Amino acid sequence: MEVSRTIMGQRQRRYRETYRERVAGWYNGWLHVLIIYLAGSIALYIYGANTVDVQWWEWLVLPLGFISYQISEYILHMYVMHRPRKNVVLRALYIRHTLMHHQFFTKEEMRFADHKDWRVTFFPPFTMLGLTLLSIIPSLAAGIVISENTGWLLMAALTASYMFYELIHFCCHIDDNWLVRNIPLINTARRHHTAHHDHSLMMGVNMGIGTAVPDWVMGTSDLDRGLWGHLFNGYDERHVRTNLQKPFKTTDSKHAVPTRQAVEARS
Ligand SMILES: [Zn+2]
Ligand SMILES: [Zn+2]
């Protein structure tokens, strides 16, 4: 099954066919999403149930933890998911993102054909477990140094921020509709991420997926706007910079995205 009324090129079309042939027949996107959000919801419930008599200042850890995750996601995207590393785990992230996700979706065709295509966008279900283990370190430190409540709230903020990221990225790859076009933040993320899927820009432009704010701070956004504009730009194309650095010439260039075989041959 493929999306209709598409302008995608032959390379992308062929890649999609190859990728789909490799996906196990039993894969179900709905089940994948259910596992992520059920596990996340149970975790959030447990973290919340462990807090006692939260003080007003302890709530501040929620936005701080949420933003910290989004910044970490930006750094991971910029320096790991688009740069092949020697470490086997980091390299797997690069292959999955640059060599799979960016070949499956280009700015010409950003849409899933059906739920089986969700596999190329959502992280595997065990990511939630890995994130939880990583979150324990700063949360334990906060729990010991500041207060027990801040430790539990930090765990909750990091988990919720990951769930938010997955939701936003998913919304970037569904067909356009009235809802996603009009919900603030989601409409901004859709335009922002579509520009990132331009092969000539993807190595260094619009690296924030959950939010465009880190791109605004780091000067890697394709927009010439302030903070407010980066939050609520929506689909507006009027502020797109015209002097963007384009390391690759065209999206259909043979060299825009290396093939997996080419990368493996180089290492
Ligand atoms: Zn994407
Ligand atoms: Zn990317």
Distance (Å) from CA 166 to ligand 2 centroid: 14
- Asked if residue 39 lies in contact with residue 33, where contact means CB atoms within 8 angstroms, the answer is no
- C-alpha span between 22 and 11 (Å, rounded): 17
Report the length, in residues, of the chain. Answer: 267
Distance (Å) from CA 103 to ligand 1 centroid: 10
Distance (Å) from CA 2 to ligand 2 centroid: 22
10-residue stretch averages of pLDDT, the chain, 267 residues long: 79 92 90 97 97 96 97 96 92 94 94 94 94 96 97 98 97 96 96 95 94 95 96 95 68 49 54
- C-alpha span between 95 and 108 (Å, rounded): 21
Looking at all shown ligands, the one closest to residue 172's CA atom is 1
The predicted pLDDT at position 153 comes to: 98
- pLDDT tens digits, residue range 60-112? 999 999 999 999 999 999 999 999 999 999 999 999 999 999 999 999 999 99
Q: For the chain, give the mean pLDDT.
A: 91
- C-alpha span between 91 and 60 (Å, rounded): 35
The predicted pLDDT at position 259 comes to: 55
- Give the C-alpha distances (Å, rounded to integers) separating 82 from 79, 100, 149: 6, 11, 37
> Which residues touch 71 (CB under 8 Å, ≥6 apart)?
214
- C-alpha span between 67 and 65 (Å, rounded): 6
Residue type, 30: W
Looking at all shown ligands, the one closest to residue 109's CA atom is 1
Looking at all shown ligands, the one closest to residue 207's CA atom is 2
Looking at all shown ligands, the one closest to residue 190's CA atom is 1
- C-alpha span between 158 and 17 (Å, rounded): 35
Looking at all shown ligands, the one closest to residue 169's CA atom is 1
Give me the residue spans of the domains in the chain. Answer: 10-266
Looking at all shown ligands, the one closest to residue 171's CA atom is 1
The predicted pLDDT at position 255 comes to: 43
Phi-psi group of 2: left, alpha or beta (phi > 0 → left; psi -120 to 50 → alpha; rest → beta): beta
Give strand pairing partners of 240.
Answer: 223
The predicted pLDDT at position 247 comes to: 57
> Which residues touch 64 (CB under 8 Å, ≥6 apart)?
157
Distance (Å) from CA 51 to ligand 2 centroid: 37
Phi-psi group of 219: left, alpha or beta (phi > 0 → left; psi -120 to 50 → alpha; rest → beta): left
Distance (Å) from CA 61 to ligand 1 centroid: 29
Sole residue written with tokens 């797997």:
92
DSSP state of 234: T
- C-alpha span between 258 and 100 (Å, rounded): 10
The predicted pLDDT at position 250 comes to: 46
Looking at all shown ligands, the one closest to residue 97's CA atom is 2
Show the DSSP H helices in 95-147 as ranges: 102-104, 127-145
- C-alpha span between 145 and 241 (Å, rounded): 45
Looking at all shown ligands, the one closest to residue 105's CA atom is 1
Looking at all shown ligands, the one closest to residue 74's CA atom is 2
The predicted pLDDT at position 5 comes to: 79
- C-alpha span between 10 and 219 (Å, rounded): 33
The predicted pLDDT at position 258 comes to: 56
- C-alpha span between 105 and 190 (Å, rounded): 13
- C-alpha span between 261 and 118 (Å, rounded): 24
- C-alpha span between 12 and 29 (Å, rounded): 21
Q: pTM of the entire structure?
A: 0.89
Instruction: Enter the tokens of residue 18.
Output: 């190859």
Distance (Å) from CA 200 to ligand 1 centroid: 15
